[in-house]
Copies of this chain bind each other. A is one copy, B any other.
Amino acid sequence: MARPRTFDPEVAIEKAMQVFWTHGYEGASLPDLLDGMGLTRGSLYKAFTDKKTLFLKVLERYEESAVLEGVKMLNDPAIPDGADRVMAMFTNAYQRVTEGDQRGCLLCSAAAGPSNYDDEIATVVSKSLGTLRDGIEDALRASPKHAALDDAARGELADMLISQYVGLRTMARARIGPDMLRNAVRSVGAMLA
């Protein structure tokens, strides 16, 4: 009935995610996005309304990919002890840095940035972090040591761990020496063991 799109919106969002991930929300300029997504202004605005709407879509995608992957790791039945799964998540975060990825976590950067003044972004960020937190809580339930805790204490521990995670990835983005990150992760391990 009309001219069809020459790009896949899903692919475009994926590419936009990479751009926002490296530059941050405010740091990513329209030309940056256009470049990274490989489309022109007209197409971007026709398909995604504006920068912020695109970012919200990207955050959704981030939840569906990165966050979901984390939750999957936290539910991994191949690792019987839930506490080990939590550790896998932290170790993974550290490994990314050693592999040269210093972008940190898109969610965490958004938390430190636009979440402060934009309610919609804050809501989505809050929700995604909540998803991860709940994954941690579930994993703790699957840990002999932490299954013994009462619900309140276990919930509080989950809150602490998600905050720890945000801190770790924020420091990774700040290019803090990797030793500090490794030590922090080790210490989380010691605490959970």
Interface flag for A163 (CB, 8 Å): yes
In the docked arrangement, what's the CA distance between A126 and B172, Å? 11
The interface centre, meaning the residue of A103, A116, A125 with most chain B CB atoms within 10 A of its CB, is A116
Q: How many copies of the polypeptide does the oligomer hold? A: 2
- Provide the main secondary structure of the chain A interface: helix
Q: Is A10 an interface position by the 8 A CB rule?
A: no
- Count of A interface residues, CB-CB < 8 Å: 49
Most B C-beta atoms less than 10 A away, residue of A102, A111, A113: A111
Interface string of A99-131 (1 = CB under 8 A from B): 000111000111111011100001001100100
Assess A111 versus B170: contact at CB under 8 Å? Given A26-B27, A160-B191: yes
Sample of 15 further A-B pairs with CB below 8 A, known A112-B174, A159-B181, A160-B191: A27-B113, A103-B116, A108-B112, A109-B112, A109-B113, A111-B174, A115-B175, A116-B173, A116-B175, A122-B175, A157-B190, A160-B183, A162-B167, A167-B168, A191-B191
**Selected A-B contacts with CB under 8 Å, 25 pairs:** A24-B112, A26-B27, A102-B116, A104-B116, A111-B171, A111-B174, A111-B176, A112-B170, A112-B173, A113-B113, A115-B174, A116-B174, A125-B174, A126-B175, A129-B176, A156-B183, A157-B190, A160-B164, A160-B184, A160-B187, A162-B167, A163-B164, A163-B167, A166-B171, A167-B170
